Structure 1
Amino acid sequence: MVSEIYLTRLLATKVVRHVVRHVVRHVGTLQKFVDDLFETVFSTAHRGSALPLAIKYMFDFLDEQADKRQISDPDVRHTWKSNCLPLRFWVNVIKNPQFVFDIHKSSITDACLSVVAQTFMDSCSTSEHRLGKDSPSNKLLYAKDIPNYKSWVERYYRDIAKMPSISDQDMDAYLVEQSRLHGTEFNTLSALSELYFYINKYKEEILTALDRDGYCRKHKLRHKLEQAINLMSGSS
């Protein structure tokens, strides 16, 4: 039994070393592409297109919530924004390019992308990047680049905060236009069904939150949501 355990560990160690050697051998070659990726994601000026209104609107909403709750710690705001966009969306795309492109992802490619994704996550963290003799290899490969990447993330959030605010009317118009442009690309009924299941699961909490919010009371959002729930319940 003991020998089997050590054999499993030995095999795992060999695989990890093989992957690390492969990544290390190509770090110099990949560096420009990794830099370009991070610069594009964390930049409002080098995208080649305007920053999506939804990002500005969402980040402003998070800042408003922090102000409302008198949260002055900038690390909290930074973490909220990182959890909403870079860590929820971009990390998933980096680790799983097959979600976007029609490609096959080999085990070696998967391991290499995991290193890049880990670097991406470390760049979004507000904690100090401490390394030691027990640090995993995937944290060591880009260790010297992390401080620079962190500065890009901080600059990105600052630049967005300085942009003119997006009104609710402009956001509504933007969403309507996006729905028109991409209306045939998605199954809206399926998305609606998933939203319904989620809302139904947390119905009481959501309705209570709508009751407490002045904006929601003014626009009778609780009543409108209850109507939608009743309509969906009757058709299901």
Structure 2
Amino acid sequence: MLYCAIKQQMEKGPIDAITGEARYSLSEDKLIRQQIDYKTLTLNCVNPENENAPEVPVKGLNCDTVTQVKEKLLDAVYKGVPYSQRPKAGDMDLEWRQGRMARIILQDEDVTTKIDNDWKRLNTLAHYQVTDGSSVALVPKQTSAYNISNSSTFTKSLSRYESMLRTASSPDSLRSRTPMITPDLESGTKLWHLVKNHDHLDQREGDRGSKMVSEIYLTRLLATKGTLQKFVDDLFETIFSTAHRGSALPLAIKYMFDFLDEQADQHQIHDSDVRHTWKSNCLPLRFWVNVIKNPQFVFDIHKSSITDACLSVVAQTFMDSCSTSEHKLGKDSPSNKLLYAKDIPNYKSWVERYYADIAKMPAISDQDMSAYLAEQSRLHLSQFNSMSALHEIYSYITKYKDEILTALEKDEQARRQRLRSKLEQVVDTMTLSS
């Protein structure tokens, strides 16, 4: 839900196809600071699976590149279909239909692409003057425009398109639409979309005169954060709750946390911050942070650079919520720290409550834990390479063999189960086989 909310919110405003910067963002590094004028358009997309089916209305922006439009159309038409099982934008052409016969293929770069000195701007819906309510279709990709520029179909479509431009544009603007030279003959031409991405920091510094002051775009970050607040809260509350979750707390979490508490007692560690840090390091910071930042590891989705930047801010907030140290903020603090400064104390209380609630739960016996692990192994028998996992464990054992054998000899429970002799047998067997 958080991923979908971020993606939807980011796509409501302009996103630079080259730099990945966006009008709406949680990350200051990925925020478009220039003022971008844009309009929202509704495109009626022909269903690629059935042209006789009703057209699918899709929201887009007139400043979107052709590829961005194709991705939005694919998201709408193939809603609910796993990303890996649907067509890719690069394999499809965007066809603008004007009546029954007039069909124009729109591309990010073609003979109409605007070039200014050494800057070449990607084509957008505004460049093609696509209007609200236009009918479009996604069709299997044809031969490159560079190779079909002599074909009668393309020439007719292009001449019709250029005549349309002449009725709506000044002669001066038309002169800038000279055909671009082929890529292999280009020398030093740089692509841009919404913002010219200068190569050197000193150039970027010189460009700051046209950018909004920091207070203004910090306000914009806060506005985006406010829109996404409920989704962040719901995610954190679900993770740090033993009750408000879709399923029961896994036995392994209770078993592992009890083990950490036992180790603290055994080593006479009474500092609650140390116990808290151990638990945070082994579950929230090792597992959940990775899932929050990389949802594509779990779900069949595509993660864009702007979505990645926003999820990184959420992941950093999650990490700060698990910390026991106080974060002192000042005027030079990073914007992502300032964004959630007021929320982190509340999130920290959720983490503390979560650890305390787990500590109060009934202990898990070794027999119950063994039965649970056996059941999990059965359920996921064909999903994991157990030999690879065993090899990783064995590599660790060979590296620290002496220390592990000594520890097993000292541990009372390990002695009862004769784990040292069993491990020695495994090591001897592996040594002989190798």
Q: Same fold (TM over 0.5)?
A: yes
Could you tell me which residue of structure 1 aligns to residue 85 of structure 2? none
- Work out which of the residue numbers 352, 356, 380 in structure 2 matches 1:158: 356
Gap runs ≥5 in structure 2 = 1-198
Q: Tell me the residue number matched to 1:105.
A: 303
- 1:69 is matched with which residue? 267
Q: Which has the higher strand share?
A: 2
Q: Which among 250, 256, 279 is matched to residue 81 of structure 1?
A: 279
Q: 1:40 aligned to 2:273?
A: no
Which residue of the other structure, out of 227, 231, 239, is the alignment partner of 1:29?
227
Between structures 1 and 2, the one with greater helix share: 1
Corresponding residue of 2:162: none
SS of residue matched to 2:362: coil
Q: What is the SS of the residue equivalent to 1:80?
A: helix
- Indicate the residue corresponding to 2:255 in structure 1: 57
Q: CA deviation at 1:20?
A: 7.0
User: Deviation per CA, 1:171-195, whole angstroms, max 9, x where unpaired?
Assistant: 1111111111111111111111111
CA drift at 1:6: 3.9
Change (3 A) 1:87 1:9: farther
- Comparing 22-31 with 63-72, which one deviates more in the overlay? 22-31
Tell me the residue number matched to 2:166: none
**Range that drifts further, 201-210 or 157-166:** 201-210
Distance 1:9 1:86, change over 3 A: farther
Structure 1, 37-46 or 126-135: larger mean CA deviation: 126-135
Query: 1:164, 1:95 → 2: CA distance?
Result: 33
Once the two structures are superposed, the pairs formed by residues 75-224 of structure 1 within 5 Å of their partners are 75-224=273-422
Structure 1 unaligned blocks of 5 or more: none
The Cα of 1:92 is off from its aligned counterpart by 0.7
RMSD: 2.5
Q: Which has the higher contact order (CA 8 A, sep 6+)?
A: 1
Mapped partners of 2:273, 2:428: distance in 1: 41
Distance in 2 of aligned mates of 1:209 and 1:99 = 36
Report the CA distance shift for 1:56/1:9 in structure 2 as closer, same or farther (over 3 A): farther
| Residues 2-46 of structure 1, C-alpha deviations (whole Å, 9 max, x = no match) | x956458889xx9xx9x9787544212211110000000000001
> What's the counterpart of residue 225 of structure 1?
423
Provide the rounded CA distance (Å) in 2 between the counterparts of 1:191 and 1:8.
Answer: 48
Please say if residues 95 and 110 of structure 1, whose CA atoms lie closer than 8 Å, have aligned partners that are also in contact. yes
Q: 1:138 to 1:233 in 2, by over 3 A?
A: farther
Instruction: Give the AA of the match of 2:235.
Output: L
Paired with 1:103 and 1:78, the residues of 2 have a C-alpha distance of 34
Which whole-Å CA distance do the structure 1 matches of 2:367 and 2:297 have between them? 33
| Matched residues, number | 231
Deviates more, 1:212-221 or 1:118-127: 212-221
Distance 2:362 2:203 in 1: 60
Partners of 1:47 and 1:10 in 2: CA distance: 51
Q: Could you tell me how far apart the structure 1 residues matched to 2:345 and 2:361 are?
A: 25
C-alpha separation in 1, matches of 2:317 and 2:333: 13
TM-score of the superposition, structure 1-length normalised? 0.89
Identical pairs, percent: 76
Distance 1:31 1:228, change over 3 A: same
The code of the aligned residue for 2:375 comes to E
